[in-house]
Amino acid sequence: MILVKKLSYAYSNKTVLSNINFSVSNGEHIALMGESGCGKSTLLKALYGLFDIEIGSIFHNQEQLRGPKFNLVPGHPFMKYLSQDLDIMPYTSVADNVGDFLSNFYPLKKKKRISELLEVVGMENYASTHVRYLSGGQKQRVALARVLALEPEVLLLDEPFSQIDNFKKHQLRYQLFKYVKEQNITCITATHDKEDVLPFADKVLILKDGKQKSFETPQKTYINPKDAYTASLFSEINLISEKALHLGASKRKVIMYPNQIEIVEEGQYLANVEACFFRGGYYLIHLNFDTIKIVSKSKFPFTKGNKVRFNAKLFRE
């Protein structure tokens, strides 16, 4: 188990993390989510021991983890950390990169292990290719295989799919997180992409300006976001007053996602269509409702200037 207690950290008197508290059970997958500069990468580096913590503490199985002042080589042997600066060797083959940390005493076992890991990241057809000839996304996949090679107890990933094309990203996510779960590897992933979080994470830690907003399951975080900032990490959002929705006289805002604004013939509310955008499997409809700009998802297109009716579908636990 990893336990983070009252952790704070500052660079040059600028606070980057403030009073962070959470725990991760063995084999759990935790996502760190927030806008750029919110402290996700700094938190991963703190967990890995790349700098000294003066306020708060980090424990692994009840043993306190410390930084460079206490360790000759920064980092912890039971952890592997994949940063956005990929740690790979450009002038050797993909297979040699993945096998760099594996023992040569058992060549057949090493070869099998390399093949297994290359299959996990979808690079089995590039085993003999020199890394310098690969694209950025392919290099990122090689780096992922490298950090998995020694079967770390804890895996720290910083935006692990940022350079990978969408058509490869979906399959890689599934393959990687499935493998990590099967191997009972504790995984902490820093990301801004909801697709890394909603289907795969056991819990998500929301960060804003270095502060912890919430730490819950992805489902609870999505359905009951603490605020508009949290909701906006998952989708476009609508902020509609309770008064406008006839839920009372209050001007308090209700947070709603576009899929909760359902355009139907006999809808409760009336709005004007301002714009319509094709998004593949659906249309994103911009509406003007009671002088409020809102967004709806629809299976069908609508023309600017049309009047439509809609229902507001509130989530129920």
Summarize pLDDT for 143-194 with one digit per residue, the tens.
999 999 988 999 999 999 999 988 889 999 999 999 999 999 999 999 999 9
Spatial distance between the Cα atoms of 159 and 192, rounded to a whole number of angstroms: 8
The per-residue pLDDT for 99 is: 94
The per-residue pLDDT for 317 is: 41
Which parts of the chain register pLDDT below 50? 317
Domain boundaries, the chain: 2-231, 235-312
- Residue 190's CB is within 10 A of a number of other CB atoms, namely 26
The CATH homologous superfamily to which domain 2-231 belongs is P-loop containing nucleotide triphosphate hydrolases (3.40.50.300)
> Any residues with CB less than 8 A from the CB of 106 and at least 6 apart, and which?
none
Crossing angle between the packed helical segments 107-120 and 166-182, to the nearest 10 degrees = 130
- Backbone φ, ψ for residue 259 (5° rounding): -70, -10
pTM of the model: 0.92
The CATH homologous superfamily to which domain 235-312 belongs is Nucleic acid-binding proteins (2.40.50.140)
CB 310 within 8 A of CB 284: no
Do 235-312 and 2-231 fall under one CATH topology? no
* Residue entry with tokens 């998500």: 204
